[in-house]
């Protein structure tokens, strides 16, 4: 076992038996510096759409992904291999994976696409599509294109940003797993205990590592649970994070699924995570804006050194197993916040705002991105 995970194992003991001290103080200089990069994981196509009641066509989902890919985003959560009877909106995730592998959306840089797996059955379904693509790719490589064959037509000139957008960028694929910080939510969401959910992850982790596929692990209800109340134990969150890292997770996304998080609670959680040995480079935060606190909590996290955040275009989202929880923090608002602090996301806010307005219209719902609406109003006034 590496020295890092030996330290994590010791840190987990500390998380179980913590020293009771006050809130964490922000380390001077830990706020984002000018031009520092903040990574955004766009969860709209999966977490954003999963709670929509109306049926959304595969074409609309793929167009959303393709539009997002042209904005400069580097990571997009594209689908979930969950049983359709539980989350019907994700029923065509295998087709989405197949499309991304066979015809990668045009983008400035290669994009990482994430797919959520609830259990070994989800892994099997994922592997059916993934293996089929790799098999056909190997067959194509065995019969190379004859010399003198003209190259395929580059259709990127049809895009207004054609000089910046490159077609056929090889996509990177990551797997995502999810558990929760309370027993009640885990039972409602996955019909098992926390311990059982971790056991389910073992074959998925093992298979992913054999294929060199990175794994992201979500911890839901880290700042409040709809069934057990607003005071989720941060030491339980830390213990789970350490366990998942020990199992082989490459990144932990800690979620405020209910939007109950506040600035003091966010600071306290980050302090406990740090004491447990979880490094900020292994950490992402996933805020919902139910009570309008998502951006406030984001600033707190930035001051504590976190540099990866989940967000959803136009504020799409909500959790089917979290009554009352509204959408994720809007990606447009998060990009605007980061820009205002002098840091960078690499995302074109104007183009992203257009995507947010488009998908809101497609779904027949209001656009919940304040910054996006302001940008579009400014653009309209300028014409």
Distance CA 70, CA 160 (A): 10
**Does residue 362 lie in a domain region?**
yes
pLDDT at 34: 60
Look at the chain and report how many structural domains it folds into: 1
pLDDT at 189: 85
Give the whole-number percent of the chain exceeding pLDDT 90: 72
Confidence of residue 144 (pLDDT cuts 50, 70, 90): low
What kind and span of H or E run contains 80? Answer: strand 75-80
**Does residue 6 lie in a domain region?**
no
pLDDT at 145: 55
Which residues, listed in sequence order, are joined to residue 76 by a DSSP beta bridge? Answer: 42, 113
Q: Which residues contact 31 (CB under 8 A, 6 or more apart)?
A: 302, 303, 341
Is the full-model pTM beyond 0.75?
yes
Residues 275 and 238: beta-carbon distance below 8 Å: yes
**Does residue 161 lie in a domain region?**
no
* Mean pLDDT for all residues in the chain: 87
The residue-averaged pLDDT of 41-58 equals: 93
pLDDT at 350: 98
Distance CA 161, CA 169 (A): 15
The residue-averaged pLDDT of 315-324 equals: 69
pLDDT at 17: 42
Alpha helices in the chain (DSSP H): 3-16, 58-69, 93-102, 120-142, 183-190, 194-210, 234-247, 263-275, 294-303, 331-340, 349-363, 370-382
**Does residue 223 lie in a domain region?**
yes
How many other C-beta atoms can be found within 10 angstroms of the C-beta atom of residue 250? 16
- Domain with 180, as residue range(s), is 39-132+168-382
**Does residue 248 lie in a domain region?**
yes
For the stretch 244-283, pLDDT in tens is 999 999 999 999 999 999 999 999 999 999 999 999 999 9
Q: Would you call 315 exposed, middle or buried from its count of C-beta atoms within 10 A (0-12, 13-18, 19+)?
A: buried
User: 27 versus 262: which is more confidently predicted?
Assistant: 262
The residue-averaged pLDDT of 59-68 equals: 98
pLDDT at 21: 33
The conformation of residue 286, written as its DSSP 8-state character, comes to E
Which residues, listed in sequence order, are joined to residue 216 by a DSSP beta bridge? Answer: 176, 251
Distance CA 42, CA 113 (A): 10
**Does residue 55 lie in a domain region?**
yes
The residue-averaged pLDDT of 202-215 equals: 95
Confidence of residue 383 (pLDDT cuts 50, 70, 90): low
Confidence of residue 327 (pLDDT cuts 50, 70, 90): confident
pLDDT at 22: 36
pLDDT at 133: 87
Q: How far is CA 383 from CA 280, 332, 348, 379, in A?
A: 43, 21, 19, 7
For the stretch 287-312, pLDDT in tens is 999 999 999 999 999 999 999 999 99
- Could you tell me the CATH number of the domain that includes residue 302? 3.20.20.70
**Does residue 70 lie in a domain region?**
yes
Of 19, 192, 225, 319, catalytic: 319
pLDDT at 140: 58
**Does residue 312 lie in a domain region?**
yes
Is 319 designated active site?
A: yes
């Amino acid at each position: 076992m590496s020295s890092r995970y030996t330290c994590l194992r010791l840190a987990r003991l500390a998380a179980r038996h913590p020293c009771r001290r006050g809130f964490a103080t922000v380390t001077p200089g830990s706020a984002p510096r000018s031009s520092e990069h903040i990574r955004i994981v766009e969860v709209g196509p999966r977490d954003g759409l999963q709670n929509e009641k109306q049926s959304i066509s595969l074409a609309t989902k793929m167009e959303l992904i393709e539009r997002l890919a042209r904005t400069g985003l580097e990571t997009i959560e594209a689908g979930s291999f969950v049983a359709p009877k539980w989350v019907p909106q994700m029923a065509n995730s295998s087709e989405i994976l197949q499309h991304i592998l066979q015809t990668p959306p045009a983008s400035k840089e290669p994009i990482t696409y994430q797919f959520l797996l609830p259990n070994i059955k989800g892994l099997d379904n994922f592997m059916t599509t993934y293996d089929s693509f790799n098999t056909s790719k190997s067959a194509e490589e065995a019969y190379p294109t004859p010399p003198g064959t003209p190259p395929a037509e580059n259709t990127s000139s049809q895009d207004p940003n054609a000089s910046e957008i490159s077609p056929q960028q090889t996509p990177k694929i990551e797997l995502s797993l999810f558990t929760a910080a309370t027993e009640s939510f885990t039972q409602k969401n996955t019909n098992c205990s926390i311990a059982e959910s971790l056991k389910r992850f073992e074959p998925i982790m093992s298979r992913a590592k054999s294929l060199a596929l990175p794994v992201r692990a979500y911890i839901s209800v880290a700042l409040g649970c709809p069934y057990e109340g607003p005071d989720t134990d941060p030491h339980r969150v830390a213990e789970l994070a350490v366990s998942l890292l020990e199992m082989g997770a490459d990144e932990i996304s800690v979620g405020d699924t209910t939007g109950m998080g506040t600035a003091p609670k966010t600071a306290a959680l980050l302090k406990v995570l740090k004491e447990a040995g979880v490094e900020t480079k292994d950490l992402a935060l996933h805020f919902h804006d139910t009570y309008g606190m998502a951006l406030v909590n984001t600033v707190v996290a930035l001051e504590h050194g976190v540099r990866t955040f989940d967000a959803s275009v136009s504020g799409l989202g909500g959790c089917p197993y979290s009554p009352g929880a509204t959408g994720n923090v809007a990606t447009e608002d998060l990009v605007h916040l980061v820009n205002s602090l002098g840091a960078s996301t690499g995302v074109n806010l104007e183009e992203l705002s257009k995507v947010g307005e488009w998908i809101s219209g497609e779904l027949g719902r209001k656009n919940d991105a304040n910054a996006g609406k302001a940008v579009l109003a400014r653009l309209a006034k300028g014409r």
